[in-house]
Amino acid sequence: MKILHLSAVHSWGGGEKQIELLCEEFQTGFPEVENIILCVEEGLFHRKLKNTNINFKTAPLKFNLDLRYSLRIISFCKKKQIDLIHIHDPKALSLAVIADKFYNLPLMVFSKKTTFPIKNRKQTLFKYNYPKLKRILCVSNRTKEITAETLKNYDRLKTIYHGISLIKQQNITTKIDLRKKLGLGKDVILVGNIGNHIPAKDLTTFIKTAKKVIQQQEKLKFHFVQIGQFTSETPNLLKQVNTNNLEKDISFLGFMENASAVIPQLEVLLLTSNSEGVPNVIFEAFYHKTPVITTNVGGISEIVTHMENGLLTEAFDAKKLAEQILFLQKNQELIPRFTENGHKKVVEHFTTKQMATKTLQEYKLVLNGK
């Protein structure tokens, strides 16, 4: 079975990481599946793939509907006799639909990795209801519910959760000592956030939460660290830090290779997102037994159960998030229960092997006309 994976994003984030993990799992556990990734030439995903054993090709993409990408899809389908196309983002879906107008492409599946609703516009609905698009693989049940509100043929929608590679997490290492890098003593409680600087991550709430924690009357010492790719959002975030006189209390470290390797150095993983599918970093924190405090958005509540394996609050509520950080430090006897429950859950239910097994099952059903 030959699968062509399409990624038309220039960045590197959780979605691209899952493509990489899926292809690696197919390589080791399902050798009957041959994978080729078509990514954006000189994008961050391209640079990342250079350091893997995954088979990949590149295509130029200077603007959203750069037909050179579509022509490259056609070229690979002809040369490699591709059986199925797995599309991983909306832009790539548009380019695949265009390519199919010039050449009879194979059947397609699409991974829906966010809970953003599909816009009720003619062109958007056309591509998501495209006859050759036989499956939409949703990252959570919440993603599936929101997607079903717009699309026809509910039977195309299947939930397949992402996962982590237990072997990779077990062997992951880093030379970065966060405390040493930031000049922090052992008495400082390190609260971390990992995510690119995009609106969905709501890092403004992260800053507001940090301010409220720093202002607490107790004698606890905190430092907040944020790891993620800088974007056009970054200058405004840094301005907020300066305006609130938090320069000594918050560190924005930018993109970091293998960022999950520093998770064990954190006392708390704090997510302040206002929209998510299911963030990979929660799985990683569960594996490394780092407590998770997060907003209850998207599919997060399908993974994190309040007071069982983490703490949940509503989006935008910096006051409550701050209260939960302080609550956890005052009730540290809860931490072993939270982290053991989280670790057990990810190992039993959210691994790349399970993700690849379920994905392959859908591939086979699609190719068999079901």
Could you tell me if 220 and 269 lie in one domain?
yes
- Three-state SS for 163? coil
What is residue 257's predicted lDDT score, i.e. its pLDDT?
82
Could you tell me if 152 and 227 lie in one domain?
no
Could you tell me if 99 and 223 lie in one domain?
no
Residue 193, CB half-sphere, CA atoms under 13 Å: how many? 28
CB 145 within 8 A of CB 298: no
Could you tell me if 211 and 337 lie in one domain?
yes
Could you tell me if 91 and 178 lie in one domain?
no
Phi, psi dihedral angles at 256 (to 5 degrees) = -135, 125
What is residue 13's predicted lDDT score, i.e. its pLDDT?
86
Could you tell me if 174 and 294 lie in one domain?
yes
CB 34 within 8 A of CB 1: yes
User: What CA–CA distances, in Å, run from 273 to 95, 282, 320?
Assistant: 29, 12, 14
The Cβ of residue 304 has, within 10 Å, a number of other Cβ atoms equal to: 25
Could you tell me if 130 and 235 lie in one domain?
no
Could you tell me if 145 and 203 lie in one domain?
no
What is residue 337's predicted lDDT score, i.e. its pLDDT?
97
What is residue 223's predicted lDDT score, i.e. its pLDDT?
97
Could you tell me if 339 and 357 lie in one domain?
no
Could you tell me if 265 and 148 lie in one domain?
no
CB 57 within 8 A of CB 37: yes
What is residue 136's predicted lDDT score, i.e. its pLDDT?
98
What is residue 202's predicted lDDT score, i.e. its pLDDT?
98
Distance CA 138, CA 20 (A): 17
What is residue 305's predicted lDDT score, i.e. its pLDDT?
97
Expressed as residue numbers, the domain containing 213 is 168-349
Token digits of residue 17? 């990481």
What is residue 250's predicted lDDT score, i.e. its pLDDT?
98
Residue 120, CB half-sphere, CA atoms under 13 Å: how many? 5
Residue 116 DSSP symbol: P
Query: What total number of domains does the chain contain?
Result: 2
What tens-digit pLDDT sequence spans the chain (370 residues)?
Answer: 999 999 999 988 889 999 999 999 999 999 999 999 999 999 999 999 999 999 999 999 999 999 999 999 999 999 999 999 999 999 999 999 999 999 999 999 999 999 999 998 999 999 999 999 999 999 999 999 999 999 878 899 999 999 999 999 999 888 899 999 999 999 999 999 999 999 999 999 999 999 999 998 778 999 999 999 999 999 999 999 999 999 999 999 999 988 989 999 999 999 999 999 999 999 999 999 999 999 999 999 999 999 999 999 999 999 999 999 999 999 999 999 999 999 999 999 999 999 999 999 999 999 999 9
CATH classification at residue 73: 3.40.50.2000
